[in-house]
Structure 1
Amino acid sequence: MTSKPNFDRNIFRYRSINSLLGERAELENQSIYFAPAESLNDPMEGLRRVVWRGDRVTWRNLLRNYVICLENRITQALLHRDDETLDANAISVFQTLDNVPTPQMRDFLKQCIQSVEQTELHTTLLDFLAGAERDISFTELKQHLRLVHFHWLQIIQKAVSDQGFMKARNSLEFDEASMAANLRAMQNLLPKLAADHGESVLEAVFEVQEMVSASIGLHTAFNNSETASHKKQSLIFDFPSEYLRCLLKLIYPPWYVACFSKRHDNVAMWSYYANEHNGCCLIFRTLGDPDQQTLRLRGARGFQASRGEQSRVFREGQDLELRSVNYTSEHPQLEFFSNLGRISQKDAMDGWFTDDDGKVSPLSSHLTDPTATEKWRGEHWDRFLPPLLSKHPDWRHEEERRVVLHDNLGILDKPEDRTFTYDFDTLEGIIFGMNVKMSNQVKTLQIIEPKLVNRSSDRPFKIYQARYNSRTGKMDCFELDLTTGAPTLPSC
């Protein structure tokens, strides 16, 4: 047993044996996978309190976008089996009337929009939203869309069936006048509630409404489960909330993370991330200053095309910054219409800030003045990263460091494109969990041994064994000396 290890310049990555030695073969391939946000263990990661504060032009265009996406969703449903659930991330929020593939499709979408906009419920909802003159929260907007969703779904389904793309359905009775009256009553009531009790009471009102809607929705789905297929339930009950979550894609690009820790001695992390202490902890050597550490990884960097060939993603080594995670339960607020950062200026102006008569919304001022645009763009991207480095305080024990990638170019869509590799010189050692089977330790050494031949680092590669220290209440480790002679085992 040697002296206590010195890990001052190291960062740690907990892995299960299956990840290291199984199908993904992370140790053999020297690979690090960057996970999408939806697969992380804290659903609050990257969370922003997005609000909507628009005028009649922007709200009308949002409702049109909803109709376009709903029509596309109905088409998707026609291509799926009844027992399939529709992909929550496949809602076409980037679709506009200007980028549909055919003139016939554009005319049909215009017809769907016109049919919805002629209804009393649409006019009432548009009046309500445009006249609010306050921030509309995610929760509130979701409730408004749920209110109109089934009515608009029936209108669009009828339009699709009239085109012969689906069988005609018997429309359920819908008291549109009553729903519109309720919206107008709410429009009159909410300002009085805000004046008497403050605007925070409005969010509480819609949170209660969401609870009631969730109960009614579940009750309805359960009672109709024999006749309502999975895809039908997706279309009827899930679409409004899934649409809003997808709509946020118009603000920032998708992002991916590889997670590390400053700690190798936390019992809970060994249990959670290393499969009940049956996994390992990889020890990486960092570069750069202590306050700005980096990790050298090789992965997708951009597009490259040779003459006459199709563009392809090229990979190269990159010094990627390891950023500290901030543990907080607070989340920044972001206004939607003024932060459409993932679409071109032309698409934003044509699709969101201009009406049919060519009237331009004054909310587009950050795009019409070049000086204001440059300032807005800088501030917009300054706000991108901080929420991606936040987790709930309950995770503080992890002392996490992470590498964050964002994908403006569309080069990280596939899991294989998000799998980066490290030079073996970067890996300084490995700690076996206290429950790792001997056979898996041997397999690990068999992978490592030939890699050491080409290792150029002057720092020795070390193997450690984790153990629980009852005096400190933490995990510690001791170095395994593999230079001593080993006896030959008898045959069994």
Structure 2
Amino acid sequence: MSIDTFYRFRSIENLLGEREELEKQSIFFAPPHLLNDPVEGFKDIYWQGDRILWTNLFNHYLLCLMKWCVEFLIIGDEFDLDLDKHFDACVTVDDLHENFQAEFSIVSENFIRSEHIQNLIDGIYIYRESIGENELELYFRMVHSFALYCIYERLEEISAVSDNVFKKIDFSYLKKINDTYFQDLKDFEAKYGEGKVQEFQHKNILFFAKDDVALAFVSRMSKFRRKIFTTEFASLYVQQLERLMFPDWFTACFMSDCTNSSVWGHYGKNHTGVCMVFSAEVDSNKYSYLSLNSDIKGWNKNGVVKGKSPFKFFQIEYEKKYEPINFFKTIGQLPKPLVYRNWYSWNRVLSPLAESYNVDWGGEQYWDNFYKSVTKKTNDWKYENEYRLLICDMNGSYSQESTTLQYDFKSLKGIIFGIKTSDEDKWKIIELIEKKVSQYSHYEFCFYQAYYCRDDGNIKHYEISSLKFERPENT
């Protein structure tokens, strides 16, 4: 079997500090929010559906909002949950507190059947062929306070709260959401293009954020509670909708080259860190794999399989644009019966688009969309020559802060010291490696020193022959 080589840059703090990555032979898998690209894992999601799908989307927004309102009602002043971490986009009515599940149907009917929401849904369906995240967020911000009004109106009726503070809000602005509004928007787009429409909508989003109708009510509350009662909730909701489509994921980043000075400067902490050299097995299809010790959930009757598992190296593609994905056709994190019941039907009427819904965890198109989205970066990052290992967190069982897997020490071919790696750090690493070489009989391990090559301006390295390990004669 042939062997491929990949490089992983690490700081001394990661290798020898609190994480002890070198001692533990561990590879840290980071969630997207810890990566250096703010659009890491970006998916060009759009929404295109019929009245039934749009009705269910606004109903789902209402459900998520009511769930947090009920949590706040029950917990009271001690309410301090971080919505960014605990927001569950896969929520159904069954996830509401049992005392409020029956009440939601009343709240939902008052909300969905209102003239404001009906006009909005009809306008989107008739005049907007498809919409993006900014436009969707704008519509949710428009109706957020009205949704709160409907929720608290019912809570007041059942004496769960003493006063519906949202009934003091003037909702006359919602009357502007009519055929004329959407026709004008359509004409505006035809004349000036989609980019100008997005700019116009973004300005409106900022308007709702600045002039929040519920701001006075929550001015003294914690930032977590503010996220419920202000239109900031709409932004959070749109961000979290992706969790209905694909599983959470974690990645460990490698590179196919280690000669770029910028890479050494950033990932090698200004050349004071090191570059780890890994050997990867290559299969008959020319895919490279690294074996890692892991606990894989849900693969046998006991729920856990322990031992080595091959992790494929995915090559990053560098492109200017991302392929668009229709949200309604990619709801893959719910069982199909729940998707049909909660998204593709309303009042027992099935959407004609249900026939085109064919999302399956084992489906080739579904996973193709997922992997394309997590293995693409813009051309600005092309100099990295990145490859990555991936974990798909199907069951939500991995930690956002401490997901690490262990590699076989023999898969680590060597370590390249940076140009500015201190002698003290070098000797700490050498002493640690010396013990492991003896423990695992990995006498082929090599140390290298990086240097600046004046001929081509790259960072190259040479083997430090004086640090070769000799195999004992009796082995």
Q: For this structure pair, what is the TM-score category when the shorter chain's length is used for normalisation?
A: 0.7 to 0.9
Note the aligned Cα RMSD (angstroms): 3.0
Give the aligned partner of residue 354 of structure 2: 364
Which residue in 2 is equivalent to 1:454?
Answer: 439
Match of 1:386 in 2: 372
Aligned: 1:93 with 2:89: yes
In structure 1, the partner of 2:456 is 472
Match of 2:105 in 1: 110
Q: 1:144 to 1:83 in 2, by over 3 A?
A: same
**Quick check: 1:423 aligned with 2:413?**
no
**How high is the sequence identity, in percent, across the aligned residues?**
25
**Matched residue, 2:345:** 354
- Quick check: 1:269 aligned with 2:279? no
- What's the counterpart of residue 292 of structure 2? 297
Displacement of 1:141 in angstroms is 1.1
Answer whether contact 2:138 2:204 (CA < 8 A) is retained.
no
User: Secondary structure, in 3 states, of the residue corresponding to 1:409?
Assistant: coil
The answer on 1:205 being equivalent to 2:191 is no
Runs of 4+ aligned structure 1 residues displaced above 6 Å come to 80-83, 372-376
Match of 1:39 among 27, 34, 50: 34
Say whether the 8 Å CA contact 2:271–2:419 is kept in structure 1: yes
Q: 1:363 to 1:413 in 2, by over 3 A?
A: farther
1:121 aligns with 2:107: no
Matched, 1:283 2:277: yes
2:316–2:387 Cα contact (<8 Å) kept: yes
1:318 and 2:313 are equivalent in the alignment:
no
Q: What is the aligned counterpart of 1:245 among 226, 230, 239?
A: 239
Q: What's 2:447 paired with?
A: 463
Report what 2:227 is aligned to: 234
Alignment pair present for 1:48 and 2:32: no
Q: Distance in 2 between the 1:463 and 1:229 partners?
A: 53
In 2, the alpha carbon distance for the partners of 1:245 and 1:483 equals 51
Q: Specify the code of the residue in structure 1 equivalent to 2:278.
A: F
Between stretches 424-433 and 130-139, larger displacement belongs to 130-139
How far apart are the structure 2 equivalents of 1:166 and 1:22? 52
Equivalence for 1:138: 133
Moved more, 200-209 or 18-27: 200-209
TM-score, normalization by structure 2: 0.87
Alignment of 1:57-76 (within 5 A): 57-76=52-71
Amino acid at match of 1:332: E
Partner Cα separation in structure 2 for residue 479 and residue 407 of structure 1: 39
The separation in 2 between residues aligned to 1:388 and 1:129, in whole angstroms, is 30
Kindly provide the amino acid, as one letter, of the partner of residue 58 in structure 2. L
Q: Aligned AA for 2:411?
A: T
Superposition TM-score, scaled by structure 1 size: 0.85
Show the counterpart of 2:248.
254
Q: Secondary structure at the match of 1:467?
A: strand
Query: Which shows bigger deviation, 467-476 or 436-445?
Result: 467-476
| CA 1:186–1:248: 2 relative to 1, 3 Å | same
Question: Aligned-pair distance for 1:451?
Answer: 0.6
Alignment length (residue pairs) = 461
1:429 partner SS:
strand
Q: Kindly provide the CA deviation profile for residues 341-373 of structure 1, in whole angstroms up to 9, marking residues without a partner as x.
A: 2211100111111111x1110110035xxxx77
Deviations 1:211-253 (A, max 9, x none): 24325524769x9696354124322132112111211211111
Deviation at residue 281 of structure 1 after TM alignment: 0.8
CA–CA distance in structure 1, aligned partners of residues 342 and 405 of structure 2: 37
Offset of residue 439 of structure 1: 2.1
Q: Could you tell me which residue of structure 2 aligns to residue 10 of structure 1?
A: 5
In the TM superposition, residue 265 of structure 1 has moved relative to its aligned partner by 1.8
Quote the offset at 1:103 in angstroms: 4.7
Amino acid at match of 1:17: I
Moved more, 284-293 or 136-145: 284-293
Query: Contact conserved, 2:83 with 2:224, CA < 8 A, in 1?
Result: no
- 8 A contact 1:121–1:176 mirrored in 2: no
Secondary structure of 1:248 counterpart: helix
Shift, 1:295, TM fit: 1.3
Give the structure 1 partner of residue 472 of structure 2. Answer: none
For the structure 1 residues 154 and 81, does the alpha-carbon distance in structure 2 shift closer, same or farther, using more than 3 Å as the test? same
1:191 positional shift: 3.7
* Residue 473 of structure 2: aligned partner: none
Question: Post-superposition shift, 1:138?
Answer: 1.5
Deviations 1:244-274 (A, max 9, x none): 1211211111122110011222111112112
2:387 matched residue in structure 1: 401
CA distance in 1, matches of 2:96, 2:142: 31
Report deviation, 1:131. 2.5
1:168 paired to 2:163: yes
> Is the 1:190–1:202 Cα contact (8 Å) retained in structure 2?
no
